[in-house]
Amino acid sequence: MHDMGVRCIAMRITWLGHAAFLLESGGRRVLIDPFITGNPVSPVKAEDIECDIIVVTHGHADHLGDAIPIAKRTGATIFAIYEIAVYAQEHGAKAEGMNIGGTMEAEGVSISLVPAWHSSSYEGRYLGMPCGAVVKMKDERTVYHAGDTGYFSDMQYIATRYDPKILMLPIGGVYTMDARDAAEAVKLFNAEYVVPMHYRTFPVLAQSAQEFVSLVGDRAKVLVLNPGESIEV
């Protein structure tokens, strides 16, 4: 599906359970929403993770997770909405505050924050608007991590503006889109790959991606990963 004459560097995607991912490409490692400690399906410990950049979509404990201790240990910079960045800085981590529509670049990696319909707080403290994140790696592959969100039609603009070929969409229901709404979201994009997330972690969430795979059909290749499993695209 790729022109290997143009794209000779593979992106390695590792799902760490829930909404946590490690993206590796061109010598750069981007960690997204590192909920590791307390994650019942996490295949790793927070102290074993190495990364260069951390992206946090919103302040809930199952997304902010271990971002601050990992950043402090590795020297990675956290990129997040302004309020989360301030909170991280207060706790000794390097962080760059952004906002929806903004883009920053670090070490050849581009990070853009886009809307998400959800909420965001940590231990009673408001931590700004929830976001999705568009990450463009050095190999030019663009990933859209939707964060926690319900379906919304303005995803069409994200598709048009950034044209991500790899989608990471929540399918668990209750707190986010369910399989049916996530499959509707896929229709808005011209994506090659879709990775379902935010399911199986807790009993209240959907326990299988089977319905999602069936509903997406041949619109994109659904990559159903087990926690700790990696794939190169």
pLDDT tens-digit profile of 165-222? 999 999 999 999 999 999 999 999 999 999 999 999 999 999 999 999 999 999 999 9
3-class secondary structure, 29: strand
Phi, psi angles (nearest 5°) of residue 185: -60, -40
Angle at CA 130, nearest 5°, toward 92 and 215? 130
CA dihedral 29→33→38→40, nearest 10 degrees, is: -80
Residue of 117, 105, 109, 231 whose CA lies nearest to 170: 117
Q: Report how far residue 216's alpha carbon sits from residue 104's, in angstroms, rounded to the nearest whole number.
A: 32
Question: Model's pTM, two decimal places?
Answer: 0.95
- Interstrand relation of 21-25 and 12-15 (parallel, antiparallel or unpaired): antiparallel
**CA 175 from chain center: how many Å?**
16
Q: Report how far residue 99's alpha carbon sits from residue 90's, in angstroms, rounded to the nearest whole number.
A: 19
**From 1-5, 9-13, 128-132, 158-162, the region with the lowest mean pLDDT:** 1-5
pLDDT band at 231 (very low <50, low <70, confident <90, very high): very high
Residue of 42, 67, 63, 66 whose CA lies nearest to 53: 67
Q: Report how far residue 51's alpha carbon sits from residue 140's, in angstroms, rounded to the nearest whole number.
A: 19
Q: Report how far residue 43's alpha carbon sits from residue 39's, in angstroms, rounded to the nearest whole number.
A: 9
- Find all residues with CB under 8 Å of 165, minimum gap 6, and list them: 141, 142, 190, 191, 192, 193
Interval 64-75: pLDDT, tens: 999 999 999 999
pLDDT confidence of residue 39: 97
Asked whether the beta carbons of 45 and 103 are under 8 A apart, the reply is no
Q: Per the structure block, which two tokens stand in for 155?
A: 């995803």
pLDDT confidence of residue 140: 82
Residue of 219, 211, 214 whose CA lies nearest to 185: 219
pLDDT confidence of residue 8: 52
Q: Report how far residue 127's alpha carbon sits from residue 112's, in angstroms, rounded to the nearest whole number.
A: 18
pLDDT at 154 over 50: yes
Residue ranges and CATH numbers for the domains of the chain are 12-232 (3.60.15.10)
Once rounded to an integer, what is the mean pLDDT over residues 113-118?
98
Give the containing element (helix H, strand E) for 37.
Answer: none
